[in-house]
Amino acid sequence: MEKGLKPMDAEQLRENAHKMVDFIADYYKNIESFPVLSQVEPGYLNKILPDSAPTHPESLQNVLDDIQEKILPGVTHWQSPDYFAYFPSNSSTAGFLGEMLSAGINIVGFSWVTSPAATELEVIVLDWFGKMLKLPEDFLSQGKGGGVIQGTASEAVLVVLLAARDKVLRRVGKNSLEKLVVYASDQTHSSLQKGCRIAGIYPENCRLLETDSSTNFALSPDVLSEAISKDIAAGLVPIFLCATVGTTSSTAADPLPALGKIAKGNEMWFHIDAAYAGSACVCPEYRHYIDGVEEADSFNMNAHKWFLTNFDCSLLWVKDRNDLIQSLSTNPEYLKNKASEGNMVVDYKDWQIPLGRRFRSLKLWMVLRLYGLENLQNYIRNHIELAKHFEHLVAVDKRFEIIVPRTFSLVCFRLCPQHDDQDRCNKLNRDLLEAVNATGKIFISHTVLSGKYILRFVVGTPLTEEKHVNAAWKVLQDEATTLFGRF
């Protein structure tokens, strides 16, 4: 061993990175041989790894052997074609290459000057994407708006909530925090509640308005209006409405045009969370789900969910970037520079919570360039067709029922024994979920809607084909038969 560490030797990088790429390519070749949901017990790794870090270097091969034997058994394979749980979190060759390049050059692009290309590419790619979604021009960078890549939808909703809070506090006085009210449906992702906690919104002022099957679990404009009127009458100040297109439980789409009008009429910030379903809206036939985005102040979707861009890459557009900047900018001496002082550039540190940020636009740029819009649209369409196919399979088996009409690539369904009570039915479905996931052959997840325990089947991984959907249905049917036998 040569004396002295050489942590970045170009030739060593070349050799080892080739080995790592081979390892990953083999992983993808064999991905169907693993149980989709990891079957290890809690604490399994502690038992098989040493209890302190090595003093001397080990070979890459030793580490790769440990990954194969010790780490992969504890991995749940999100990229498996037999993964149908939660929402997808896509990887792709293009996304991976972009991620690799970003890790390779490893800049920290908080201000324009720290890597001009990182900021400028992000502005351009977000404008491209905004145009693909046919967002109103106000959201693009030429005017007062613009896009930014956040880590997650949770960070996106938090930063716009902070901007909305501060905008209102500037108007009504900074001692009014306790009066500020935030509205959303009870189907809204829990990240909004977390955001409210962080933003100091009083918990009793978070209105998660009830939905039910009469609106397919979308927020009713009448229910919203009534809640706002009540709050105003009580001396409270409505500040923020979060609507969702593609709710987490059942992909409900809130009626944006009507909700947006109410929000605007009450001088509230209107945010749209399209974390999962936003990807579908690049297809002209699904774009109507975001009609009404003209009324919004901010719009968010996760390219890292269903758009072939490796985690993390959450796209946020705002109509007025100054709202974000007024809440989030800091200007310490040690970061001052000519370009920023001259107001000539975007400094993304002022649009987000952390200071440091990765060169994430590279991977989205690679995805857009290496695949092209037409292929990306067909990718989404194919998943929706496969979900329709699954829906049909469920519908013809009389032991099952579809719970809400399918909108995108999620099917919500459950076993429904005739003349049975809700508790027993819920237990039966919980048992079915456990049995199915314990096979390791597929992984699905669940939710509860109006007291009903429901199984969620989402088509959305890049490797999923019709044969995987058919095989998954067979697993579900077989496990249902076994359970019914015992029921």
Nearest distance, CB of residue 373 and ligand PLP, angstroms: 23
DSSP result, 20-42:
HHHHHHHHHHTGGGS-SS--PPT
Three-state DSSP class for 281?
A: helix
State which residue, 35 or 246, has the beta carbon closest to ligand PLP: 246
Reading the block at residue 279, the tokens are: 């990807």
**Residue 390, number of CB atoms within 10 A of its CB:** 25
Per the listing, tokens 């052959």 go with: 441
Cβ neighbors of 109 (< 8 A, separation 6 or more) are: 115, 118, 119, 122, 348, 357, 358, 359
By C-alpha distance, which of 74, 96, 86 is closest to 25?
A: 96
By CB under 6 A, residue 87 contacts ligand PLP = yes
Choose, by CB under 6 A, the member of 84, 276, 351, 359 that binds ligand PLP: 276
Name the segment binding ligand PLP (CB under 6 A); options: 8-16, 268-276, 283-291, 315-323: 268-276
CA distances from 443 to 84, 123, 415, 478 (A): 6, 37, 17, 15
Cβ proximity to ligand PLP, 98 vs 246, nearer residue: 246
**Residue 381, SS3 per DSSP:** helix
- Beta-strand pair 206-209/180-185: parallel
Specify the residue, 34 or 276, whose C-beta has the smaller distance to ligand PLP: 276
Burial level of 190, CB count in 10 A (0-12/13-18/19+)? exposed
Choices 91-99, 108-116, 133-141, 272-280 (CB under 6 A): range interacting with ligand PLP: 272-280
> Which of 273, 295, 320, 479: binder of ligand PLP (CB under 6 A)?
273
- Give the DSSP letter of residue 218: P
**Contact pick of 92, 111, 114, 248 for ligand PLP (by CB under 6 A):** 248
Exactly one of 77, 167, 189, 360 binds ligand PLP (CB under 6 A); which one? 189
- By beta-carbon proximity to ligand PLP, the closer residue of 188 and 340 is 188
Query: Residue from 244, 266, 340, 426 that binds ligand PLP (CB under 6 A)?
Result: 244
Residue owning tokens 């987000």:
352
Tell me: cis bond preceding 138? Omega within 30 of 0 counts: no
- As measured in angstroms, the least distance from the Cβ of 307 to ligand PLP is 13
Q: Which two tokens stand for residue 148?
A: 């930014």
Binders of ligand PLP among residues 292 to 331 (CB under 6 A) are 302, 314
Q: Is 428 in the site for ligand PLP (CB under 6 A)?
A: no
Residue 93 or 152 with smaller CB distance to ligand PLP:
152
The answer to whether residue 279 forms part of the interface with ligand PLP (CB under 6 A) is no
Q: Specify the residue, 247 or 340, whose C-beta has the smaller distance to ligand PLP.
A: 247
Binding to ligand PLP, residues 157-186 (CB under 6 A):
none
Contact between 275 and ligand PLP by CB under 6 A: the answer reads: yes
154 binds ligand PLP (CB under 6 A): yes
- Does 254 participate in binding ligand PLP (rule CB under 6 A)? no
β-pairing verdict for 237-244 and 314-318: unpaired
Whether 240 and 206 have beta carbons less than 8 Å apart is answered as no
CB of 384 to ligand PLP, least distance (A): 17
Distances (CA, A) of 27 to 19, 77, 101: 12, 10, 20
> Contact residues for ligand PLP (CB under 6 A)?
87, 152-154, 189, 191, 244, 246-248, 273, 275-276, 302, 314
